[in-house]
Structure 1
Amino acid sequence: MKTETTNYNVIDEIEESPQILSRRQLMWRKFKRNKLGVIGGIVVILFYLMVIFGGFISPYTLEQKDYSHITAPPRMIHIFDEDGLTAPFVYGYKASMDPETLQRMYELDKNQKCYIDFLHKGEEYKFMGLFKTNLHLFGVNEGQIYLLGTDENGGDLLTHIILGGRVSLSISLLGPLISLIIGSILGTVSGYVGGVVDNIIQRVIEFFKSFPRIPLWLTLAAALPAHWSSLRIYIGIVVILAFLGWTGLARMVRGKIMSLREEDFVAAAVASGSTGWWIVRKHLIPNAMSQLIVSATLSIPSMILGEASLSFLGLGIRAPMTSWGVLLQEAQNVRSIALHPWLFTPALFIIVAILVFNFLGDGLRDAADPFSS
Structure 2
Amino acid sequence: MTTATPSKNYDGVAVARTPLQMALRRFRRNRVGVISFWVLVVMYLTALFAPFLSPYSITTQHEEFPYVRPSGIHVIYKGQLHAPYIFQSTTKRDPVTFKKMSVLDTENPVPVKLFVRGEDYRFLGLFRSNLHLFGVDQGYYFPLGTDKFGRDLLSRMLVGGQVSLTVGVVGILISFTIGIVLGGISGYFGGFIDNFIQRVIEVLLSFPRLPILLALSTIIPAKWPSTWVYLGIVAVLAFIGWAALARVVRGQVISARNIDYVQAARGLGASDLRVILRHIMPNLSSFLIVTATLALPGYILGESGLSFLGLGIKEPMASWGLLLNDARTDDAFKTYPWLLLPGLMIVISVLAFNFMGDALRDAADTQSR
Give the TM-score taking structure 1 as reference length. 0.93
Deviation for aligned residue 1:15? 4.2
Unaligned runs of 5+ in 2: 1-7
Q: Given the alignment, which residue of 87, 92, 95 partners 1:96?
A: 92
The percentage of aligned residue pairs carrying the same residue is 44
What is the aligned partner in structure 2 of residue 9 from structure 1? none
Q: Given the alignment, which residue of 318, 321, 335 partners 1:325?
A: 321
> What SS does the corresponding residue of 2:333 show, helix, strand or coil?
helix
What is the aligned partner in structure 2 of residue 133 from structure 1? 129
Aligned-partner Cα distance in 2 for 1:13–1:57: 44
- Rg bigger for which structure? 1
Q: Is the 8 A contact 1:114 1:145 kept in 2?
A: no
Q: Is the 8 A contact 2:327 2:339 kept in 1?
A: yes
> What SS does the corresponding residue of 1:72 show, helix, strand or coil?
coil
1:213 lines up with 2:209 in the alignment:
yes
What is the aligned partner in structure 1 of residue 176 from structure 2? 180
Deviation for aligned residue 1:147? 0.8
> What SS does the corresponding residue of 2:101 show, helix, strand or coil?
strand
What is the aligned partner in structure 1 of residue 5 from structure 2? none
What is the aligned partner in structure 1 of residue 298 from structure 2? 302
1:232 lines up with 2:228 in the alignment:
yes
Q: Is the 8 A contact 2:59 2:316 kept in 1?
A: no
What is the aligned partner in structure 1 of residue 83 from structure 2? 87
1:352 lines up with 2:348 in the alignment:
yes
Deviation for aligned residue 1:17? 4.1
Which amino acid letter does the alignment assign opposite residue 254 of structure 1? Answer: R
Cα gap change, 1:72 to 1:13, in 2 (>3 Å): closer
Q: Is the 8 A contact 1:30 1:370 kept in 2?
A: no
What is the aligned partner in structure 2 of residue 3 from structure 1? none
Which amino acid letter does the alignment assign opposite residue 265 of structure 2? Answer: A
Deviation for aligned residue 1:13? 12
Aligned-partner Cα distance in 1 for 2:205–2:63: 48
Runs ≥4 residues deviating over 4 A: 12-15
Q: Given the alignment, which residue of 359, 368, 372 partners 2:364?
A: 368
Which amino acid letter does the alignment assign opposite residue 201 of structure 2? Answer: I
1:63 lines up with 2:59 in the alignment:
yes
Aligned-partner Cα distance in 1 for 2:93–2:208: 48
- Write the mapping of 1:261-272 to structure 2, written as runs, cut at 5 A: 261-272=257-268
Deviation for aligned residue 1:14? 11
Which amino acid letter does the alignment assign opposite residue 323 of structure 1? Answer: S
CA RMSD across the alignment: 1.7
Q: Is the 8 A contact 2:257 2:263 kept in 1?
A: yes
Q: Is the 8 A contact 1:114 1:144 kept in 2?
A: no
What is the aligned partner in structure 2 of residue 193 from structure 1? 189
What is the aligned partner in structure 2 of residue 343 from structure 1? 339
Which amino acid letter does the alignment assign opposite residue 37 of structure 1? Answer: G
> What SS does the corresponding residue of 2:17 show, helix, strand or coil?
coil
1:280 lines up with 2:280 in the alignment:
no
> What SS does the corresponding residue of 1:20 show, helix, strand or coil?
strand
What is the aligned partner in structure 1 of residue 108 from structure 2? 112
Cα gap change, 1:123 to 1:199, in 2 (>3 Å): same
Deviation for aligned residue 1:52? 0.6
Aligned-partner Cα distance in 2 for 1:14–1:77: 50
Aligned-partner Cα distance in 2 for 1:101–1:354: 41
Aligned-partner Cα distance in 2 for 1:17–1:369: 26
1:147 lines up with 2:139 in the alignment:
no
Aligned-partner Cα distance in 1 for 2:296–2:55: 29
Deviation for aligned residue 1:272? 1.6
> What SS does the corresponding residue of 1:299 show, helix, strand or coil?
helix
Cα gap change, 1:14 to 1:60, in 2 (>3 Å): closer
Q: Is the 8 A contact 2:179 2:242 kept in 1?
A: yes
What is the aligned partner in structure 2 of residue 169 from structure 1? 165
What is the aligned partner in structure 1 of residue 238 from structure 2? 242
> What SS does the corresponding residue of 2:15 show, helix, strand or coil?
coil
What is the aligned partner in structure 1 of residue 311 from structure 2? 315
Cα gap change, 1:30 to 1:14, in 2 (>3 Å): closer
What is the aligned partner in structure 2 of residue 47 from structure 1? 43
Aligned-partner Cα distance in 1 for 2:219–2:133: 41
What is the aligned partner in structure 1 of residue 4 from structure 2? none
Deviation for aligned residue 1:97? 2.4
Aligned-partner Cα distance in 2 for 1:313–1:269: 53
Deviation for aligned residue 1:226? 1.8
Aligned-partner Cα distance in 1 for 2:221–2:92: 43
Moved more, 303-312 or 86-95: 86-95
Moved more, 332-341 or 190-199: 190-199
